[in-house]
Amino acid sequence: MRDSFLLFAPPLIGDEEIAEVVDTLRSGWLTSGPKTERFEREFAEFVDAPAALAVNSCTAALHLALLTSGIGKGDEVITTPMTFAASVNVIEHVGARPVLVDVEPDTLNIDPRRIEEAITERTRAILPVHYAGHPADLDAIQRIADVRSLVVVEDAAHALCAGYRGRDIGSGHNLAAFSFYATKNLTTGEGGMLTGPPELLERARVLSLHGMNRDAWHRYDETGTWFYEIQQPGFKYNMTEIQASLGLHQLARIGPFQQRRREVVQRYDEAFAGLEEIETPTTRDGIAHAHHLYVLRLLPCAPVDRNAFVDELRARNIGTSVHFIPIHLHPYYRDKYGWQPQDFPVAFANYQRIVSIPLNPTLSDEDVDDVIEAVHGVLDAHRE
Ligand SMILES: *Cc1c(COP(=O)(O)O)cnc(C)c1O
């Protein structure tokens, strides 16, 4: 057994990031500035996006996406229960009503075949989440959206480097929100990026900085003036130069990061293929997986339940997590909308058997061996 605890998802920060942050600290310019603008340009280029807006979280990006799409009071937004609360909290923030649609049994992404029946005359948007880095079925979702003139806002928190039928996630005409939270494939500590059509992003940009007109971004540089105007009461969602310093170098190294993630996934797939008690993640044809999470599912024949499995892996010094506690089980949502666990049976059943094991570029071959050995070890201990 390993003698130190293996963290579930530590960041991989290199000397380049550290030097860039120090350079920023010495530069005299800490808030949004030239590095943030460069990060936006390079990110947009990387995912082939029409435009990009850097913000201080994916949650902020999702909130701005709904606002600039004109979603508000009385509207309904269709989304998935298998997500982090942020995807649904933002629907509440704009005064709209979240309508959950159960997930596909294989990918755990929103099930397009069930969306139609959830649409009412109040439905304005569909908010798919690319769960674990496996893109949702965007063509099927878009077909439904087009018929009803619905907006599609993508929660791409897990989906940097993901692709759907030859297109990068973030490259389309939908607004897509990426996360640079500490555990994500690219991190700026906290941070996010909204990609999409330039005219929508310009509106989001104004809202991301108090609702000031565009020129306010430059009011402190040598060409700036003291004058600004508030167009509407906006938010404080802009990215700092410190965050952008991290992001620029994380983006430059995302290729090797993803390569390591793929290698680890391959090792796990091979190591667990022979285990009849465990189901490994599926990848459909025609998609590129971002490999953000590696989610094991315990099958009914497993000799141990998920909670015990997590505890016993922890006892073997392996950190894990559960993605996610479905939205409809959280007290706020359960009580407000009267949702029962069985209202979304696929999400609920899977919640009870999922466990995410470490998948990140800091993992050494020995670490991966330790995880594999621990998973086998827990199962073997219960077989005897
Ligand atoms: C991490 C995450 C978010 C929120 O990202 P932040 O950058 O922390 O705001 C939203 N949706 C999903 C699916 C996530 O995993």
Give me the mean pLDDT over the 52-61 stretch.
98
The letter for the amino acid at 255 is G
Of 228 and 157, which is predicted with more confidence? 157
> What are residue 321's DSSP bridge partners?
356
Of the residues 35, 73, 184, 336, only one is catalytic, namely 184
Ligand 1 interacting residues, C-beta cut-off 6 A: 57-59, 83-84, 86-87, 129, 155, 157-158, 179, 181, 192
pLDDT tens digits for range 172-200: 999 999 999 999 999 999 999 999 999 99
What number does the ligand 1 atom closest to the CA of 292 have?
A: 15
Mutate to test the pocket of ligand 1, among 8, 59, 66, 108 (most ligand atoms within 8 A of CB): 59
Give me the mean pLDDT over the 44-53 stretch.
98
> What are residue 278's DSSP bridge partners?
298
pLDDT for the residue 68: 98
Q: How far is the CA of 11 from the centre of ligand 1 (A)?
A: 16
Task: Supply the residue whose CA is at minimum distance from atom 2 of ligand 1.
Answer: 157
pLDDT for the residue 213: 78
Alpha-carbon distance of 211 to 61, in angstroms, equals: 15
DSSP 104: P
pLDDT tens digits for range 227-252: 888 989 999 999 999 999 999 999 99
Q: How far is the CA of 231 from the centre of ligand 1 (A)?
A: 28
Does 236 participate in catalysis according to the annotation?
Answer: no
- The answer on pLDDT for 114 being more than 90 is yes
| All residues at 6 or more sequence positions from 171 whose CB lies less than 8 Å from its CB, including other chains | 47, 48, 49, 195
According to DSSP, the β-strands at 287-288 and 163-164 are antiparallel
Alpha-carbon distance of 200 to 51, in angstroms, equals: 9
pLDDT tens digits for range 9-30: 999 999 999 999 999 999 999 9
Chain-wide mean pLDDT for the chain? 96
DSSP string, 265-305: HHHHHHHHTT-TTEEPPP--TTEE-----EEEEE-TT-SS-
- The answer on pLDDT for 219 being more than 90 is no
According to DSSP, the β-strands at 123-127 and 151-155 are parallel
What number does the ligand 1 atom closest to the CA of 60 have?
A: 9
The letter for the amino acid at 372 is I
Alpha-carbon distance of 317 to 337, in angstroms, equals: 39
